[in-house]
A and B are shown apart, each in its own frame.
Chain A
Amino acid sequence: MNNLTTIDTSAAGSTAFYQPQGNEEALFMHAYEHQLPVLLKGPTGCGKTRFISYMADKLGLPLHTVACHDDLSASDLVGRHLIGDGDTIWSDGPLTRAVREGGICYLDEVVEARKDTTVVIHPLTDDRRILPIDRTGEVLEAPDNFMLIVSYNPGYQNVLKGMKPSTRQRFLSMSFDYLPSAEEAAVIVHETGVDQTIADRLVALANSLRELKDQDLEEGASTRLLMYTATLIAAGFEPLQACRAGMIEPLTDDAQTIVGLMELVQATFGTE
């Protein structure tokens, strides 16, 4: 299980801060009540995972998050026999655990996973809501409070990776995007404690960087990166230095692009 990242969050604790973008909360509640699986689309770091944590807290459900990667196979999700000293022990994967215990199973960036994983989740997404486990001969029926959520970023271009229409059509889908400037700045102020002017400038800078997507950058600056940068500034780092480490360097490796972007940072923040 060493190639699997799962984060299990218990329902206890304070509710995470979340800034709604539209009616996603109502849609999510409806999906939960009617036991429908949900697909979240949107660019990296725009708040998909945050939204799920928030809803899990709100509904008091345990959250099983699986960060999918290109080595993730069906047995990583379902579970496997581990060989001990003289005997074998069955070990549940995160999906099986979620189906047994109830709660939200969130497959983050699901298209990154191997193709055989989609075969496993299909019977959980239709009205049967079952998880057959060939190895143990079990067929688990999902409890009422089980919910399957998957997310992916349609912006990434890869010839062999994409979601098949047949899979896509099994989910209730919601699109996420970066928050409007004022709200994004408010989130940054709330989360990091930087002053409003800094937050506004950071968001303005991020919007400029997002404009460069596809031409100069592979991906625009995410709210998460803004948050990192704001944290650095709040901790006393120079804004130029913080932007470089928190936003510019993570976005590109191209030396000339970095020079150009740093000029942009300087035009926005310049403190000479």
Chain B
Amino acid sequence: MEERVGQVWDRWITKLAYQGYPEAAVQLDDVKAALGVFYRGLGGDSGLTISATTPTLHRARRNWLHRVAGTGSKVELAWYDERCLYLPQRLDVYPQADLNRELYFWLAALAGTPASADVHRGMNWLVDNQQRCLQTLSLYPGLKPRYQRLVEAFIARRDPAELKHGGQAAVLSVVYQALRDPGSVTQLPADDFAPDPVPLWLHPNPPRAEGLHSEDNGKDRDSSQGQSKEGEQRRRQAERVEKPEENGTTLGVRHEADLFSYAEFCQMDRGCDDEDDLDQAESIANDIDRMAVTQDSTPVASRIKFDLDLPSALEDDIPLGEGIRYPEWDYKRQVLLPDYSCIVPMESRNAKACDLPGHLQTTARRLRRQFEMLTNRSVRLRSQYDGDELDIDAYLQHRSARATGRGDDGRLYSQKRQLQRDLSCLLLADLSLSTDAWVGTRNPGEDCQVIDVIRDSLYLFSESLHASEDQFAIHGFSSRRREHVRFNCLKDFGETYNDSVRGRIADISPGFYTRMGAAIRHASALLAKQPAEKKLLLIVTDGKPNDLDRYEGRHGIEDTRKAIQEARCQGLVPFCITIDEQANQYLPYLFGRQGYTFIHRATELPKKLPQLYLKLTGKLLEH
């Protein structure tokens, strides 16, 4: 009973203290797509994705209600770094939904407008934001009335005259002046507390995770594998701390745990924690202000599951040769790092020849029929203006039309046309560990993993392309840092598609990471050697490029983008098929809006595959 009363009180007081307008809230997810277009159109960095920010502590004065409710100490503000533009997950600053929506666009404009020389990011929050406002408003005069509306509605929420603390009232008045007349204020009056956060401005001091994206020092652990959906969308503040000594007394730790909140508890050594309750850990992570992370050479339990070490030579696939070196793009320095990554071609050790799996038989049969239509053969086109033979039907029709006094356009011939297609296709499949994830049901009652979808895709592609008699090759890739980019040969260009190829496809298994750039470069090199006139590079993947080192994040995206551009320069046509639901955030940047497609289940493939292939290879029957 006591607990229940407590809960009701907490809910009531929290609601009472809350200063937003939840009924007029606008969610970031609802405006994200349009915001992205707007932000890039203003000149914002097209390599950034839009992501939800995390609440951060501010040191402004809280009112008594906040103090009673224990809320109001955190705020979600907009900021950006080299990877993302972070915006609040939802905005309910104003009682009108359209103003909250406009605020999103205003924040995107503020972050997207190219900063003038006067803006020194992070140097002086007050001056900085005013300069940005001036710059944005002068470049986009259409934003002026909207900005004024946002400012006036914001100011109308609170009258400085009502504030009891003189210092706070003075600060607020000056902030209001800076909002109304950007550029007019250079300094705030002195006050014991920090000024109230201004939701119309960018974050004064973006939380940065120092050392998290350090250079390839051999110790970094990838953080995206196995991350939850929300985890991908929200950014958490983190700081590197020294790993606590493991020989500390366990007793002491337990006592401290009783005394402190879980935020502090989290700062203790969890290196040996088995972490069974991941859901709880995640909700705790969402609540704490600042997470402490440490580098440790011993993988914890959850990491051991991800099998970071290479299998023993006896178990592993057979490496072919010493490896082939490829450059990698360093976007920060805008240079290609020569011979940076090493491709290791591999051949399956345990693959056994096998037939096509039963559940694909019907689909494969249908696809084969469709694709057989595309083989290089001749067709006879009737009712043509020109041709090698007279089309008797058309001629009779023409005669009767004439006899009855009707006119026609005189298409009296039939024409034999050779359907020639000179096409090579290389299919590159992502075999990284992330494909180990479960994605849904393939058949009723049968759950399937990403790797199953990829395996089915490979089967169906092969069956189709085999039927259409196009030249094709299939390769898979995964990586473990730059020195070990595994490139599994499933079918070479010269090879016939047969049971042993099917066996190799059956044998694919997820492992390691996704160093996509190197794999694309190697695949491009293989494809470029083909004599065909048109060369198609299809990439089947489930997510972003990433690896254990700095390849995770922007570096990987930019390197992959560079590799795709290089492929285009060689006359290849790259196209991506993805299973990642978040793909529309970064794939347009990599492949262009027309350069990728999203599939969710293998069961969608039969429907999408012929469409896709025909779209890619043009209206073949017409040429």
Contact = CB atoms under 8 A, between A and B. Distances in A.
A97 to B, nearest CB: 17
A261 interface: yes
A115 interface: yes
Given A160-B617, A216-B40, A267 B34 contact: no
A211 B43 contact: yes
Interface in A218-268: 218, 256-257, 259-261, 263-268
A171 interface: no
A253 B109 CA distance: 24
Contacts of A271: 142
B392 to A, nearest CB: 14
Contacts, number: 120
Contacts of B385: 75-76, 80
Contacts of B386: 73, 75, 80
B99 to A, nearest CB: 13
Most chain B Cβ neighbours within 10 Å, of A75, A212, A264, A265? A264
A248 to B, nearest CB: 11
A83 B618 contact: no
A159 B140 contact: no
B36 A260 contact: yes
A2 B409 CA distance: 8
A160 B37 contact: no
B589 interface: yes
A114 B620 CA distance: 11
A257 B33 contact: yes
A206 to B, nearest CB: 11
Contacts of A114: 622-623
Nearest to A208: B41
Given A160-B534, A263-B38, A214 B592 contact: yes
B82 to A, nearest CB: 18
A270 interface: yes
A58 interface: no
Given A216-B588, A267-B109, A160 B142 contact: no
B41 A261 contact: yes
Interface string A60-95: 000000000011010110001011010000000000
B588 A267 contact: no
Interface in B20-61: 33-38, 40-43, 46
A259 B36 CA distance: 10
B87 interface: no
Interface in A23-81: 70-71, 73, 75-76, 80
Interface stretch (B143-151, B216-224, B515-523): B143-151
A209 interface: yes
A157 interface: yes
A235 to B, nearest CB: 21
Contacts of A218: 593-594
Contacts of A211: 40-41, 43, 46
A159 B33 contact: no
User: Chain B, interface size: which category?
Assistant: 35 or more
Interface in B117-151: 140-146
Contact of A208 (B33, B43, B595, B617): B43
B180 interface: no
A219 B514 CA distance: 31
A161 B589 contact: no
B142 A270 contact: yes
Contact of B145 (A71, A212, A270): A270
B62 to A, nearest CB: 35
A270 B38 CA distance: 14
B592 A260 contact: no
A82 B407 CA distance: 12
B470 to A, nearest CB: 11
A268 B38 CA distance: 11
> Chain A, interface size: which category?
35 or more
A216 B35 CA distance: 12
Interface in B564-623: 571, 573, 588-589, 592-595, 616-620, 622-623
Contacts of B36: 216, 260
A5 to B, nearest CB: 16
A158 B386 CA distance: 28
Contacts of A216: 36-37, 40-41, 588, 593
A270 B573 contact: no
Contact of A159 (B40, B144, B146, B573): B573
Given A80-B386, A160-B620, A270 B37 contact: no
B169 interface: no
A157 B571 CA distance: 11
B593 A264 contact: no
B329 to A, nearest CB: 18
A260 B38 contact: yes
Contacts of A256: 33-34, 37
Q: Taking each of B41, B398, B421, B619, which has the highest tally of chain A beta carbons within 10 Å of its own beta carbon? A: B41
Contacts of A76: 385
A121 to B, nearest CB: 17
B576 to A, nearest CB: 13
A264 B618 contact: no
Contact of A157 (B33, B40, B594): B594
A211 B409 CA distance: 46
A215 B589 contact: yes
Contacts of A266: 142-143, 146
Interface string A125-155: 0000000000000000000000000000000
Contact of B593 (A215, A263, A265, A272): A215
A70 B621 CA distance: 11
Interface of B: 33-38, 40-43, 46, 105, 109, 140-146, 385-386, 398, 402, 409-410, 412, 421, 423, 534, 536, 571, 573, 588-589, 592-595, 616-620, 622-623
Question: 9 closest A-B pairs (Cβ-Cβ)?
Answer: A270-B142, A260-B37, A256-B33, A260-B34, A160-B618, A259-B34, A267-B140, A214-B592, A264-B41
Given A114-B622, A208-B42, 9 more contacts: A160-B421, A214-B592, A215-B40, A216-B593, A257-B34, A260-B41, A264-B37, A267-B42, A270-B142
9 contacts: A70-B619, A83-B410, A159-B573, A216-B588, A260-B33, A263-B105, A264-B41, A264-B42, A267-B142
